[in-house]
Structure 1
């Protein structure tokens, strides 16, 4: 079989990387189509995945109109690469996968989450042969929509596929018992980030100053705009592929971006998300809050004070690790599902019985 996968962001690379490896090991021909965005191609290189670049996404001045112009210039490249490869099934989301599957007359599998923007769902839903999403997704996307118990991040952070590498402490230059916090600042350049605000510059500085009184602080700045000359913090400068090992060893992850908070929570690390002006209710975060693995805050002073309290709590690590063992181990290993769905060409009725049992028709749940 020939399987085409779209990985447009670093998170998409992680979502599919284990499935791509397993499909290649099984003798299938896999191609990842991607764009130059953040560290996406760096991750593809690191994990040795077969890929081609169809365009570039700039992290500045983003708008819906800008996205439309960008997309228009990329669809030609996508068409050329898709027809050259000749896939039997296409994986992805939004207009990218929809265009590729339609042009090649190929089954389309969409892997979606409970994101606030409807654009990706709206443009791709009519073309999809199979839509997969976490059970906490609030939308019913039609007869082809199936849900699973878990999160997209379970494709790479489920205990069956991820084992933390404690040697990351040496790479970070911290001692075996040294407490450190990882702070992630969002570039807010994605379509669903339009008109949102995260931490302000003054809040960023204050947060770092306060956390540094109780822990070593590493900062991952997606916008790459921070100057560290007079800050009591270090830039997180390891290869981006090591970020999950770093989060697993951290005493705290605090951010105004959603993906890393979800990842830290599933790793059993206290994970706090600053919502700021984002008034959307994500099903994933609501579920992680219910499990006691993540917390969200609307006010800056609340997330700052809660972060300081966790760093002073000697029992926090034990509690979060126990919650992870009790909760995450029972979730679906999404890589198993992706591999089986690929080999069935998106046909749910041809899936292995164990995979069919892990999926539920969304329309039957409403």
Structure 2
């Protein structure tokens, strides 16, 4: 029996699992209910299960009946602190939402584990199933690496793969690219300090608010004039907070937080050094004190060319070249699977999950309270992950990819 044939029998179970996960979303690194739901599914498959110490992760190892290498498959588990407004009958009502499709990721990887476990005696090697909390800004993948997920099978994986659904991309279409596919995400905290005072007499003090406003505008000019257009950066000031306690009190300090997206180490280094210098100069020119803090987060998500070739060849065999889109440029969004791909050659691929009744133009994006994902793709997702891992384990010489 092929994975495709066996996968069709899993459809109803995977949809039910996905919807159960969708109704009970949890955020961050501590996802006890989500972990228990997944453990109940995985405990039936004869896998070696281990739980995280600093987060509620699950590492499951499937050992094949024949000797061979190790491949890792990953799904993220956490939701977002978004009040759901999708109108779905199984919508969450606890103030959180699987608005980035992680509920499908978990259900799809459970499906892949079921497909591979059913053929364990033929499997030439081992598969690590990595269920990871804290993707949405908490660096859960980095914590799982520190806790030894890559060593779970006794030898490090030769390849790692992750699939991410997309609620705008056409249903059933896979999309990926070689090299960088998603940007790094970092931050910078900027504090401008004046003297405060009475709002009626700003000339008697130093008001940091207009100074901070100039810094916000200067950041936009900085990107346009200091960052190469061929190696872009996106810098967004996402928070502005003053310490003013009343509408007639001048602030004595303003705190800005900037989100920084880049695709190369050189551009990130440029932004990291020169942006703080620019803000410092503006603050000093207006008699304000200034401090800054760089907040390091996710690196660039880098797809290995050889592993991407392997993945795309499998998907073309399964679904035909017309269902595979090669992305012309990387996304400026970020993904903490990047930490894994910094350690192991591998690939991230997207799978379109836009429901047929949602028009592409104006479709709610991921992270939107109105986002909807068509869970009919779960069967395709599970089969793709299983087939990618299965065929990769057959390869002994990476040069043959």
Question: Do the two structures share a fold, i.e. TM-score over 0.5?
Answer: no
- Normalized per residue, the structure richer in helix is 1
- Normalized per residue, the structure richer in strand is 2
Higher relative contact order (CA 8 A, sep 6+): 2
Larger radius of gyration: 2
